[in-house]
Amino acid sequence: MQAAGGAPLSDPADQETAVAPARARKLVTLGVLAVVVYVLDLVSKTLVVAFLEHKEPVEVIPDVLLLNVIRNSGAAFSIGTGMTIVFTVIAFGVVVAILRTARQLRSVPWAITLGLLLGGALGNLTDRIFRAPAPLQGHVVDFVQVFPATHFPIFNVADSGVVCGGILAVFLAWRGYQVDGTRQTEEKSDG
């Protein structure tokens, strides 16, 4: 590592001071993206519950996109219906794991990944904590239905954040990119 004038930084304290602003920017990226996903999820759910719940689905694009409000007590694909408290605990654990992982964050792609995952997890966790039928047993509001004839699961903005973050996490891991900004590569042998 080098100082602004090009001289090498030999003191570990100087190196940490030089890294701090770059790390802070990555944490800000994670935080801003998480807030954007969370707010979009919260606002969209509030609007669809207020204006579309208990009404016929709204066809936005014929045979492609419907707004169809349902309450989901399970996970994706309605797996685990009736196990809402378990999913609440899991979502809380995911949030804690992301926050702990963020302490090592030195990578912009991982900041984006963790921001998407955190915003999505917080969005659905908010539903599970505060929505009916009871605290910590709330049903998640889902409302986006694509290609209705295929019976693809109905989802929400938080679900989209989690899925996109999950796909990006798998891609980054596959390519060897680490949360700390390093990259693992396979050793090539001549044998």
Report the alpha-carbon distance of residue 80 to residue 67 in Å, rounded: 24
Residue 95 has a CB neighbour count (10 Å cut-off) of 16
User: 14 an active-site residue?
Assistant: no
Q: Which of 11, 41, 127, 159 is catalytic?
A: 159
Q: Which of 14, 63, 127, 142 is catalytic?
A: 142
Beta-bridge partner residues of 48: none
User: 159 an active-site residue?
Assistant: yes
Return the active site residues: 142, 159
